[in-house]
Amino acid sequence: MNNLGQKVIYQIYPKSFYDSNNDGIGDLPGIIQKLDYIKKLNVDMIWFNPFFVSPQHDNGYDIANYYEIDSRFGTMADFEELVAKLKEINVGVMLDMVFNHCSTDHEWFQKALAGDEKYRKFFYLRKAKPDGSLPNNWQSKFGGSAWAKFGDTDYYYLHLYDPTQADLDWHNPEVRKEIYRVINFWRQKGVHGFRFDVINVTGKDERLIDSTGDIAQEKSLYTDTPIVHQYLKEMNQASFGQDPNSITVGEMSSTTIANSIKYSNPNEHELSMVFNFHHLKVDYQNGEKWTKAPFDFMKLKQLFTQWQEEMDQGAGWNALFWNNHDQPWALSRFGDTGIYREKSAEMLATAIHLMRGTPYIYMGEELGMIDPDYSSIDSYIDVECKNAFKELQQKGISEKQAFDIVKSKSRDNSRVPMHWDSSQYAGFSSVTPWLMPTDQDQINVKDELAHGEIFNYYQNLIKLRHNEELISDGHIRMFLKDDPQVLAYERFLDDQPSKLLVFNNFYGQSHTVTLPKAFQKQATQVVISNYDQQDINLQETLTLRPYEALAIKI
């Protein structure tokens, strides 16, 4: 079985990595051309966002054909070459599987529309209520009703997301068989990793009753329901579970620790690990994404403490991450994009890379990328942020304020092209890219590899995860829980006297902490530090410099 604790996974958003044919869009041959860079970083696997055939209403998460590569990204031959070349450098492939829904362009939906009874049963088709109102009152996560008219019939179909993303009815065993066929097709191509998009919303109740109108109660009608565990066990057995080297991760929408333990405990035979997003909502005012507020550090700490300690106690497994294609850059949210950009980037990396779980690095994070400095809403592509910009103004918020909010939270922030050099289009393409880079004169691969420190620091963190048993296999316990500035934890193994103590100062001011008695007056060995800290004898107190990260063995 894979030692998940030794793995580090790199996420590539293909559209934005490297454009090999100068059409403004990143592609698979572009990734092949940059494999030396991947090799240098020394990660174990790459998670690729979807590059399957798609009308791209939701950036490829609306799949029209699960078996073919979208021509804008390349060909199947390109994919096969990519898998083979990654294998040569011992890097595995993780594909993004979107099975809660498919595109309304998919032949299953088109056949259903044409009246084919078999395929009509692939979707949630319901008639209006006797009073003519919609089948139920559920809301789409992208706004508006979750129901859309099914062609010119008197039926509606369910879409928890965009109307072009029709929810698949997992209650139908034929649907599940088709899904397992897709996974097995890619396994035959040498794929051992799978990320399952919003997989915990597949277990809707067959009755689809009305909600009370309360958002949390409504989510409970289709999120983390007991049948999801059955589905995952069946999927495991019918596909990736047959491969001892498989690594799977479920993206879990609004999930709980108890369910996440079940999803990822090896004895349950469901998934290897889970993504949860609670820690990335600590800068949401009153739980609202489209607000601008400083992050709540104590809340962040409390969430890390709960998820780390309780998942450990229940033998569950966390996917550890700050960034992905749906989030603004963590450095712009939790760090310092100015004088302490390097130190805060390294501190954020240390905080999660030394925790219990499997760390994910989103492309560009290892350079210390920050949110683009756009001055107009016209620079954004993402439909979610454009809608939010309009809605905020409709609520009476000024255009300037609305723009400031959108600028801080847009998904496009992290989707900007990778900065390869300081040229006009950041070395990504020689034509205008689909989304414009900014700040590439300060932050880019060429400069970072020549005289930066962040990339090198990430390499060291990866090396530690590969080699240090306390990090890959150890338990975790948080300490200094009430400290308003420092996240601290210990990693330990039941059969070893040595421990790893990790300190992360989340602010730009020096800060002194009083150490627990058990750690005082101990000789130490510095394992990693973003300030070139020499070995120290721990006393009663320890002073951390601005954004200092320090891991020591006692």
Strands in 243-339 per DSSP E: 247-251, 273-275, 319-320
How far the first Cα of the chain sits from its last, in Å, is 30
Q: What angle do CA 131, 217, 236 make, to 5 degrees?
A: 105
Distance CA 239, CA 11 (A): 23
Determine the distance from the C-alpha atom of residue 117 to the mean position of all C-alpha atoms in its chain, rounded to a whole number: 37
Pick the closest to residue 80 from 244, 190, 165, 210 (CA basis): 190
* 68 membership: H or E segment, kind and range: strand 65-69
Distance CA 356, CA 177 (A): 34
- Going by the DSSP 8-state scheme, the letter that residue 318 receives in this structure is B
* Residue 447 among the catalytic residues: no
Pick the closest to residue 77 from 26, 27, 119 (CA basis): 27
Distance CA 527, CA 498 (A): 13
* Residue 251 among the catalytic residues: yes
Distance CA 428, CA 157 (A): 40
Pick the closest to residue 32 from 73, 75, 82 (CA basis): 82
Sign of CA dihedral 402, 407, 409, 410: positive
Neighbouring C-beta atoms of residue 506, cutoff 10 Å = 23
Residues composing the chain? 554
SS3 content of the chain, % helix, strand, coil (to 5): 35, 20, 45
> Residues 267, 315: contact at Cβ < 8 Å?
yes
Find the catalytic residue in 251, 342, 371, 382.
Answer: 251
Q: What angle do CA 23, 427, 85 make, to 5 degrees?
A: 80
Find the catalytic residue in 19, 96, 169, 197.
Answer: 197
> Residues 481, 487: contact at Cβ < 8 Å?
no
Distance CA 447, CA 452 (A): 7
Is beta strand 125-127 parallel, antiparallel or unpaired with respect to 52-53?
unpaired
Task: Give the residue numbers annotated as catalytic, written as ranges.
Answer: 197, 251
